[in-house]
Structure 1
Amino acid sequence: MPRVAVYNIQGQQVGEIDLDDYVFGGEVNEAVLHQAVVMQLASRRRGTASTRTWAEVSGGGRKPWRQKGTGRARAGSIRSPLWRGGAVIFGPQPRDYGFKLPKKVRRLALRSALASKVREGNIIVLDDLKLERPRTKDMVAVLKALNAGDKALVVTAAREANVELSVRNLPGVDCLIPAGLNVYDLLAHEKLIVTKEAVSRIEEFLAPVEKQPIAGEA
């Protein structure tokens, strides 16, 4: 069972926490991580490329010249794909590039990404993260005290408006809640900064099915 230190926002160690071995201590499955990243990036593609087929181009209703006797190649329309300004055959059309992976694969990918952060020593657990006001300078001071660098993903148990606004102007830093945690953001940021309460939420969400609470039960 992985054990990591717990810090306050001043960068001082205030305790330790045992992370769930099933969620944070498993093997890192690189193949599944790759599939999850490809899925997320494919879903972000706009898919708006469009070309006009013969049914969509205008003009070309009249045969440009007679079939024989001109010495030129046979032509039935000035909108042929062989002509400038003509139609496009098998060109791109608007489409959705997104696809879905099975739920078990997505959850495995998320656990693998979290395990990679623990294995590399790139997870920082905070006792709590609250700011008195939305101020980028204050968030920079917190990151500096934690030696988090300039590429960090901050995860809080619930939405913290002051934290989100303070992070917004930092190009390499993002803020999420456990429900929005995803593989791409975990891998795109070097450090994972997560509060103790958020750790509990993540462990509850990614726990084995038989250990998850039944809907409606306290």
Structure 2
Amino acid sequence: MANCVVKDWQGKDAGKASLELKVAKETTANDLMHRAVLRQQAHSRQGTASTLTRAEVRGGGRKPYKQKGTGRARQGSIRTPLRPGGGIVFGPKPRTYNLAMNRKERRLALRTALMARVEDLVVVKDFGTNLEAPKTREITDALGRLGIAADAKVLLVLTNPSEVVRRSVRNLEKVKLIAADQLNVFDLLNANNLVVGETALATIQEVYGDD
């Protein structure tokens, strides 16, 4: 179980919260999270790279020159891989890079990654609910009051982010907003700091707690 201090919008202590998730054994945790990250990165690849073989390149049906008498190497087509503009030998073709991983393993890797970042987790009560209009400066000032460096990569986790918060965050290159029920291992491990809304923490416990 991890105990967290809940802060308010001004960065002052406003209570306490706890998070209890089952994690992988220490001997297998790193391997499990590594495989989860590899799977996520592999699934982001489009796999649409494609080259033409000599059978697919247009033209080349006519023999470029006669078989004998020229002193040159014999050629049957100008689309041979030996000539510029010809086909490609063993070039890439559309394929899927998907990696298999059991659902229980994926959820265990996610819980393990989240609990591994508890030291960098900041729980905030009513994050951004007092914003009346989109304003990026309000978000940066709030992160500063929470003790987060200006150049840090921040993962902001909220249950139902309002449109005002979304528009306030979208101009911040190093701040990524994500819903509490859509967490992923890569973002959890890639961020320097995790800022989680108090209601989002309860959602995380509810969604990922039982397994």
Secondary structure of the residue that 1:174 maps to in structure 2?
strand
- Asked if residue 174 in structure 1 is aligned to residue 180 in structure 2, the reply is no
Contact residue 49 and residue 93 of structure 1 kept, 8 A: yes
Scaled by the length of structure 2, the TM-score of the pair is 0.90
Q: Which runs of 5+ in 1 are unaligned?
A: 210-218
Match of 1:199 in 2: 201
How far apart, in 2, do the equivalents of 1:8 and 1:73 lie?
Answer: 80
1:15 match: secondary structure: strand
1:128 match: 126
Alpha-carbon offset, residue 166 of structure 1: 0.9
Give yes or no for contact 2:22–2:108 (8 Å, CA) kept in 1.
no
| Partner in structure 1 of residue 44 of structure 2 | 44
2:188: which partner in 1?
A: 186
Distance in 2 between residues matched to 1:160 and 1:182, nearest whole Å: 21
RMSD: 1.9
Kept in 2, the 8 Å contact 1:26–1:115? The answer is: no
**In the alignment, residue 101 of structure 2 is paired with which amino acid?**
L
For residues 18 and 69 of structure 1, the distance between their equivalents in structure 2, rounded to whole angstroms, comes to 87
**Count, aligned residues:** 206
CA distance in 1, matches of 2:92, 2:144: 48
Task: Give the distance between the partners of 1:122 and 1:138, measured in 2 at CA.
Answer: 21
The farther-off stretch of 63-72 and 134-143 is 63-72
Percent of counterpart pairs with the same letter? 44
Consecutive unaligned residues of structure 2, counting only runs of 5 or more, are: none
Q: Name the counterpart of 2:68.
A: 68
Residues 26, 111 of structure 1: 8 Å contact kept: no
User: TM-score with structure 1 length normalisation?
Assistant: 0.87
Secondary structure at the aligned position of 1:29 is classed as helix
The C-alpha deviation readout for 1:169-212, integer Å capped at 9, x for no partner, is 11110111112211111111111111121111111111233xxx
**Separation (CA, whole Å) in 2 of partners of 1:60 and 1:18:** 71
SS of the residue corresponding to residue 125 of structure 1 reads strand
